[in-house]
Amino acid sequence: MTEQTANSALVAAMERLASALEAQAVGQSEAQASLTDANAYVYDAEQKLLRPVPHVSAPKLELLKGIDRAKRTLLDNTRRFAAGASANNALLWGARGMGKSTLIKAVHAAVVEENAGTAPALVEIHREDIAALPSLLASIREAERNIIVYCDDLSFDNPDQDFKALKSVLEGGLEGRPDNVVFYATSNRRHLLPRTMMDQESATGIHPNESMDETIALSDRFGLWLGFHPCDQAEYLAMVEGYLAAFDLKGNIDWRPAALEWAKTRGNRSGRTAWQFVVNVAGGLGHRIRF
């Protein structure tokens, strides 16, 4: 093979590789724009890709006890969004383990079941990737589908890095929030800032309250604030009973004393604690359960 022939073969191979990469990029872009492969996705901020989630772990809405007001409000808001009407961004805040993220997934699953052809897609972005929100919005702005962007356990541990990015999805920026997007977030903190950061700002800031006020103003841009509070014993036992009945695990076992002891050893009563107890019961009976 002559040198000229070898160079021609190398050029041809490089052209084929470039064409293949371009086709792949176009395919990925089209897949992101259409969002037709699944009802739920996770955003890969490093690769700038939406990865389909074939199965979302979400219980039936009727299994979520003790949060009736939040459940009804978020379901109504999501139904309106699915129908093409105006809907609010939502911040679900409060006690850990009381079903904040579970409610978002369960409400979305219920709306998908009701509106198989028009239900919004659920796109999760990890809290450490909040700075990539503008890139995510750019990739879904022209999608022919409504989209719920969802972030679990949102907080501003690095406010300088994340603040502007979140502001763009809520209201700010020249372009504003895309008409086909709402943002749902969960947080243990009502105003998103950790207590230690609030204390430090108050003690050392030149204008002590300015930074906190700006962040609180950002949390105010969520149209819905849904509070979650620790449950009482009756609500906790109702959660356990509902799970046991749903998976046909009640039988003749005396589960109430065991459920109370389980909560006592963990120091709290919550939906998460109830679910963990039921998983333990199922395992003891030789069963495997999942949503």
Task: Kindly give the confidence (pLDDT) of every residue in the chain, 291 residues in length, as a single tens digit, with 9 standing for 90 and above.
Answer: 565 555 566 556 555 655 544 544 444 444 454 688 899 999 999 999 999 999 998 999 999 998 999 999 999 999 999 999 999 999 999 999 999 999 999 999 999 999 877 899 999 999 889 888 888 988 898 888 999 999 998 876 555 566 667 876 676 555 667 889 999 999 987 666 554 444 444 444 444 555 555 556 677 788 999 999 999 999 999 999 999 999 999 877 789 999 999 999 999 999 999 999 999 999 999 999 988
**What's the CA gap between 271 and 276, in Å, rounded?**
9
Q: Which helix (H) or strand (E) holds 227?
A: strand 224-228
Structure tokens at 9: 């073969």
Note the pLDDT of residue 206. Answer: 47
The token duo for 287 is 């069963």
Nearest to 105 by CA among 65, 59, 145, 141: 59
**Does residue 198 sit in helix, strand or coil?**
helix
Residue 28, pLDDT score:
44
In whole angstroms, what separates CA 247 from the centre of its chain?
Answer: 26
Closest by CA to 158, choosing from 211, 105, 86, is: 211
The pLDDT of residue 291 is 86
Tokens found for residue 234: 């009756």
